Amino acid sequence: MAEIQDIQWFPGHMTKTKRQIKESIKLIDAVAEIVDARVPMSSRNPDLSEMSNNKPRLILLNKCDMADPNATKKWLEYFEKKGIKAIAVDCKSGTGFKQFVPAVKDLLSDRLAALKEKGMGGKALRVMVAGIPNVGKSSFINKIVGGTKAKVEDRPGVTRGNQWFSVQGGIDLLDTPGVLWPKFDDKIVGERLAFTGAIRDNILDIELLAMRLLETLMPLYSDNICERYKLTDVEGLDSYDLLGEIGRKRGMLMGRGEIDTERAAIMLLDEFRAAKFGRISLELPEK
Ligand code: G4P
């Protein structure tokens, strides 16, 4: 089986982000954590709850247009069982967006009641949008804020660079301060983030990555792969041979009829990231 070398992450940057998040936490009422619906566990940063001082949390399973709907359903049930509100959203079509404001109000019903009591019922609820790079934070903010991209004025005491946005319905959103790096101490987590494009390819061996993707997909989604690349007899092929077959089917040949497996690997990863094999999830919740 192919192995991906250990992927390094950046503890220095993370320390800075932790500090920035901790500083901003006093300004907010809740955290909306955006994860990639195809890898809801691997795309979370497990330190976020500690960083956010256990503020009420809403999980947005974004890119649900690319995820397996059955898997997304299981994830929603999983979070519900854990008492965490989760919504499946898609920033391309806007699926799930209507649920956002009511979900935040529901999550913060005590705070809303307290504000009303003090005669401050009109005060906006403040929510930090957090998530590792590439999960769709900017896309979410742009879409929910709407065409106007109304930015809330700078506030005193707010770290410079903190960006606030107003959402209709009485919510102000704060974009994640700093960069919340993924935490991939576990090789599998690193791989899954690389498959979805959350980690840049240039630090990885692209052929190994493509082989690992095939090894991950074949047990569950072999029909999708075979259909996409018109493969018929894949029984007993290892991932390198399979990558070669895919390259051959696409006519990716070098001199003397050799298959260009590097080109095939790049194409395979690109096509996976563009959901060309259909809606695929790489993780299911533990039972
Ligand atoms: P970030 O702020 O968390 O780093 O993520 P960002 O919004 O920049 O989104 C990263 C990529 O994911 C973008 O693609 C964006 O279009 C895509 N994306 C975000 N949300 C969704 C979604 O719900 N569904 C799908 N299918 N894609 C989503 P990109 O290739 O970097 O840019 P582009 O294709 O938009 O030009």
Domain boundaries, the chain: 12-175, 205-273
Cα(134) to ligand 1 centroid in Å equals 6
Instruction: Output the average pLDDT for the chain.
Output: 88
Q: Whose CA is nearest to atom 36 of ligand 1?
A: 139
Please write the tens of the pLDDT for every residue from 171-221: 999 988 777 877 777 888 889 999 998 877 666 789 999 999 999 999 999
Q: With 70 as the cut, is the pLDDT of residue 244 above it? A: yes
The type of residue at 257 is G
Q: With 50 as the cut, is the pLDDT of residue 76 above it? A: yes
- Substitution candidate for ligand 1 out of 93, 137, 139, 165 with most atoms within 8 A of CB: 139
Spatial contact of 17 and 45, defined as CB atoms under 8 Å apart: no
Q: Which two tokens stand for residue 203?
A: 């630090």
Cα 68 to chain centroid, rounded: 14
Cα(167) to ligand 1 centroid in Å equals 20
Which CATH number fits the domain 205-273, given the four candidates 1.10.3720.10, 1.10.1580.10, 3.40.50.300, 3.20.20.80? Answer: 1.10.1580.10
What pLDDT shows up at residue 178?
74
Q: With 60 as the cut, is the pLDDT of residue 105 above it? A: yes
Which residues' Cβ are closer than 6 Å to ligand 1?
62-63, 65-66, 90-92, 131, 133-139
Cα 163 to chain centroid, rounded: 21
Query: Superfamily assignment of 12-175 in CATH?
Result: P-loop containing nucleotide triphosphate hydrolases (3.40.50.300)
Backbone angles phi and psi of 252, in degrees to 5: -90, 75
Closest by alpha carbon to 281, among 48, 4, 58, 74? 74
Cα(183) to ligand 1 centroid in Å equals 20
What pLDDT shows up at residue 7?
58
- Distances in whole angstroms, Cα of residue 130 to Cα of each of 35, 70, 188: 9, 25, 22
Cβ count within 10 A of residue 181? 18
